Amino acid sequence: MSARSAGGPRSARTVELVLLVFSLAISMAAYAAVGLALDGALPAGMLGYGGGLALLFGAAHFALRRLAPHADPVLLPAVTLINGLGLAVIHRLDLAYADRAERLGREIPSAAAPAQLTWTAIGVILFFVVLVLVRDHRILQRFTYTAMLAGLVLLLLPLMPIIGTTINGARIWIRLFGFSFQPGEIAKILLLVFFAGYLVAKRDVLALAGRRVVGIDLPRARDLGPVVVAWIASLGVLVFERDLGTSLLFFGVFVALLYVATERLSWLLIGLALFLSGSFLAWTLFGHVRERVDIWLNAFAPRNVSGDSYQLVQGLFGMGTGGLLGSGLGQGRPDIVPYAQTDFIVAAIGEELGLTGLMAVLVVYAIVVQRGLRSAIAVRDSFGKLLAAGLAFSVGLQVFVVVGGVTRLIPLTGLTMPFLSYGGSSLVANWALVALLLRISDAARRPAPVPAVSLQDAKTQVIRL
């Protein structure tokens, strides 16, 4: 037995536990800093809050080591750190909103941090359920087309006349029994399962070269169907649900997986061409797309600065005020930015933790994506490679789109930062996503079984010697 197979799980357990303690310490330090800055004392109930987080994430750690002992030891602490920091920033914004309402004589809004903590607990429970139910990720390949059907149904649910709800111009929510939920977050994972299963089955056909143009082998015209269908579906999400972020995310991930499956640069070029043409078509035909582009290009124009682009401009001013090191947690004014807890939590972090703190958060996201792609490279089966690559790339693309919108690199899309922003739908779905990544990493890091040697083979080897 190799040293890796003998000590691998124990070593991974130790590394993960140390990193998890470090992540919890940073999260609690951020929570304490908020109380010290605003009240000059540690927040009330801090020990109970810290104990609850330790119990919650500790349970996730022990469940992971029991159900997937060879899983990557860095992924869980990384997402714990992001989740914990998000809770501290949301709590800080809750206090700012309450103070502002009190000064203006208005009703104090309900706090978002307790709800986010509840959703975190639900997400960790779902994390455990996924690990229990999906003992081998290859089982998911059997449900390729079932996942496609379920994903499409979830995407269409917000368009239903009774349960569908429009919030901030986007019809991506459903409301049942007094609760709002965004089914597209679960649809994202289901469609990734479909993309991986479909591309494994059709990879050889899609990799066939047709005509060669400027040194690039283009696919055959008859094989363009999948990418065209994905393009039309993403445009449908943009047109009917007014959800630019989800549209971009789905199409971008599909094209990326198509390239990973076929290793043909032509698919990336075709995807880019379709994306640019679709963007121009949407800008030409739909007013809400033109409005987003106008806000992006003319954010400081007098016609926009006090209206449509107010949120973007205030976010930019806040990050500019933060500078390199930030004003300190609890010492800025991130509450001036509308929807700072959701769409613009990056601006809140940039103001109070500065460029240094924001870059540190982005490095943690980069670690999550890198460990996911590492699992995709190491796992032995093609379906696992594509699924892990899709899961990791979806997180990376979502982070890029959100940060790019807040910093005015690209137009705003309305997506939220995974694990960081307030929102139960995104948080719960991303905990399930991480559970699948860890299941695949467990298979990738598990030592290959040593073939059994029969007694007769052993005797033959001895005779030869």
Burial letters 350-373, b for 16+ CB under 10 A, else e = bbbbbeebbeebeebbebbbebbb
Query: Is the CB of residue 137 less than 8 Å from the CB of residue 443?
Result: yes
- What tokens appear for 139 in the block? 């089982």
Specify the higher pLDDT residue, 249 or 463: 249
- What tokens appear for 89 in the block? 């920033």
- pLDDT greater than 50 at residue 4: no
CA 25 to CA 264: how far, in whole Å? 45
| Residue 169, C-beta contacts closer than 8 angstroms, at least 6 positions apart | 242, 288
- Model pLDDT, residue 165: 76
Strands 179-181 and 216-219: unpaired
- Model pLDDT, residue 20: 94
CA 234 to CA 35: how far, in whole Å? 44
Per-chain mean pLDDT for the chain: 85
Concatenating the DSSP letter of every residue in 186-203 gives HHHHHHHHHHHHHHHHHH
Describe the chain by its helix, strand, coil percentages, rounded to 5.
75, 5, 20
Most confident of 164-168, 236-240, 342-346: 342-346
- What tokens appear for 212 in the block? 């060669």
**Cα distance from N-terminal residue to C-terminal residue, the chain:** 22
Q: Report, as an integer, the average pLDDT of 5-10.
A: 57
Q: Read off the pTM.
A: 0.90
Q: Report, as an integer, the average pLDDT of 400-421.
A: 89
- pLDDT greater than 60 at residue 459: no
Q: Report, as an integer, the average pLDDT of 298-307.
A: 85
Specify the higher pLDDT residue, 128 or 4: 128
Residue 275: what residue type? F
Q: Which of 44-58, 176-190, 421-435 has the lowest mean pLDDT?
A: 176-190
- pLDDT greater than 90 at residue 220: no
- Model pLDDT, residue 280: 84
Looking up tokens 């363009």 gives: 224
93-140 pLDDT, tens digit each: 999 998 888 888 888 888 899 999 999 999 999 999 999 999 999 999
CA 160 to CA 373: how far, in whole Å? 37
| Residue 47, C-beta contacts closer than 8 angstroms, at least 6 positions apart | none
Residue 174: what residue type? I
- Model pLDDT, residue 305: 84
